[in-house]
Structure 1
Amino acid sequence: MKKLIALTAGLIVSAALATGCSSGDADAGGGAPAAVVEVKNMSYSPAQVTIEKGQTVQWRFDDSGLPHDVVGEGAVAGQLKSDLLTEGTYEYTFDEAGTFDYHCTPHPMMVGTVVVTE
């Protein structure tokens, strides 16, 4: 019986880890992104976020089946680049301070900016 309980507990923990759940508090350094940008209604919202160097931005895609991406310009061109997505998330960690612009390839009027401070 003890082996069955231990096995069941182990499977529950494994399932939680596989789905990205954890018992840690997200606000206590649990790996939560510093900023979240919603990608829907043909826009990035908010269009500008400010984070600190070394922090991560997460883009959440949900725009009624329209595919969008995140493509960096300037210093992050070629590095900040998601797949075309209709749903799901993309994350990027900014290791340098500065102002970084990005756009959506199929919808060039969709633009955003990440300001990274020291």
Structure 2
Amino acid sequence: MASAFVFASLSGCSSPEPEQAPAPVANQVTVKDRTYSPASITVDVGDTVTWLFDDGGMAHDVVADDKSFRSPLMTSNTFTHTFTEPGTYTYHCTPHPDMMGTVLVQG
């Protein structure tokens, strides 16, 4: 009887499942450590690029040099833009002009 009690007591004790890291988002650029990573990304026409803002409370934005897209100034969250025309799109961060990136859109 005692062994049944011990077994019943221990049967509910198991290690919790390790948390799975979120799956990477296709065509994602991370905004962290005052950089865009990757600094250059290649996508196809119709693809959406997601910028993930994660720089410890430092505010950044994503501003296309040709003014075709612009995110708000953010400390966290995401910004997305769908590219409908082929070309090379350069962008920068308004408060940190040394932060620059490129999206190459293939037709």
* TM beyond 0.5: yes
Shift of 1:34: 3.9
Give matches, 1:37-48, under 5 Å. Answer: 37-48=29-40
Q: Which amino acid aligns with 1:61?
A: F
In structure 2, stretches of 5+ residues that fail to align are 1-23
Identity of aligned residues (%): 50
Residue 59 of structure 1: aligned partner: 51
**Distance across 2 between alignment mates of 1:59 and 1:45:** 9
TM-score, L = length of structure 1: 0.68
CA RMSD in angstroms, aligned pairs only:
1.3
Structure 1 or 2, whichever has the larger Rg, is: 2
Size of the alignment, in residue pairs?
A: 84
In structure 1, stretches of 5+ residues that fail to align are 1-31
Residue 81 of structure 2: aligned partner: 92
**Distance across 2 between alignment mates of 1:90 and 1:49:** 15
Indicate conservation of the 8 Å contact 1:34/1:51, yes or no: no
The runs of at least 4 consecutive aligned structure 1 residues that moved more than 4 Å come to: none
Q: Identify which of 99, 107, 116 aligns with 2:105.
A: 116
Residues 33 and 51 (structure 1), Cα distance of their counterparts in 2 relative to 1, 3 Å cut = farther
Q: Which has the larger share of helix?
A: 1
